[in-house]
Structure 1
Amino acid sequence: MKSLIALITSLLSINVYAAGGFTWYSSLIHSLHLDHLVHFEHIGTLLLVSVITITVGLLYRLKISKVKNTIIPDSTISLRNIVELYGSFIYSQCNAVLGEQAPKYFKFISTIFIIIFLSNVIGLIPGFLPPTEVVSTTLALGVLSFIYYNIKGCKELGTINYLKHFAGPLWYMAILIFPIEILSNFIRPISLALRLRGNMMGDHMVLGTFLNLEILGIKVAYFGAALPFYFLGLLVCFIQAYVFTMLTMVYISLATAHHDHDEHHAH
């Protein structure tokens, strides 16, 4: 019991310390006398998230290679069960939006969701800044989604037919509809980036405000007043990763949907 109290007290103290501007990355960079790299703190954290994701993936593959019957899950809570539970959840969402095309895009969707979710969640750990609170990271993710679904649209329909669907169903309205649709398409990665960045920055600011809140000169964070905001923050982290992923799947579905262009032009 004493150990648990000591641990909680220590975590709350670190929370307050982190709210004052302390980060593990900047501390490490300073100790290695590489202060010129401190501006890449968010990139460093994103690299850490990527390493964690790759490591978990490799451990899962290693575990699966030793299993005789992969259909039977482990009898206890294990890394394998957690990964497969995550995979089952993401595949069900892919199937709901993309239907029979779900297997084609499952790998990309599952990767982008977990990268965004972990990048969000790591900001809840004292001493880490979420990479998704800076627009450069979220814009890179938005552009990645944009490039992916456009390439898949061109491959699925052919480049000419893919461009045709931007012109709309009525050929004589194409001169008006085509530029509007093209502009709308180019705005998508920006809207994805700003939505994710805005929500994560706001969540981090709210948490930081309550960690720094003082009453009669005493920080209320020492008494766990900020804990409810950690749970709300976790919910925000999931929702924002989910929204980004769902919109990406919708864009893929729209880009790869087959249209009968001859029929449209006939009308």
Structure 2
Amino acid sequence: MLLDADFLRYSRQLMLPLCGESGIQRLRQARVALVGLGGLGSLVAPYLAAAGVGTLRLFDHDSVSLSNLPRQWLYQETDVQMPKVAVMARQLKTIHAGLKVGATAVRVSADNVHHLLSDIDLIIDCSDNMATRQLLNQHAFKTETPLVTGAAIGMQAQGMAFHSAHCGAEYNAGCYHCLYPITELAAGSCQTDGVLGPVVGMAGCYQATLALRILLQDPAMQWSQLWRFDLASGNQQIIQITQDPACPVCAGHASAFS
């Protein structure tokens, strides 16, 4: 049951047909895992907290550095050298005091992923390396958990969402591994190729929007579609990610990661 304060706080969301009172209740009951609290995660997390998501579990092994500040706006100069999960948990509680926050300063790996990401309604991949992205994709499909992933580099932002229930040849839809069939190969990153802060913000906002649509059970949700935005040219693309018949993750073959 919503209180008077809830009607005031979420008045703009309540006006949306997608949300309403039942949507606020869904968000309040949702348990979301957010892996990576860099440029993407430091923007996605406060948006979800502010929207009324009830439980956020944060995972990042890193500490705040001075070079993070231009694009990871929730961190401040006084937070440098502090664990990101601790700073983020503190900041999120100032946004939504009723939020349940789990803050774990650990790198998600094949050894701990099943333990860390159990009992979760949604996984949001805000990591910065290909190995973690592939691991989260594999785990999401094994556990039939929706996955939102994104990236930003240079002047390009991208985001996408996957769900095993909406993947397969009959849906003309694949998984992250179908799009990027690599595991340990070096991929470009902000550290190697640079990025502007607002570009990261665009990708993070898109991820947060996808996440809220999934939690609100949007019937028009677009699964396995890559959104790509080149902010230098202003060009946007929506690309359907089709299933690779030989994909070891989603096409019914023995996993290449086991």
TM-score by length of 2: 0.26
More helix by share: 1
More strand by share: 2
- Bigger radius of gyration among the two: 1
Larger relative contact order, structure 1 or 2 (CA cutoff 8 Å, min sep 6): 1
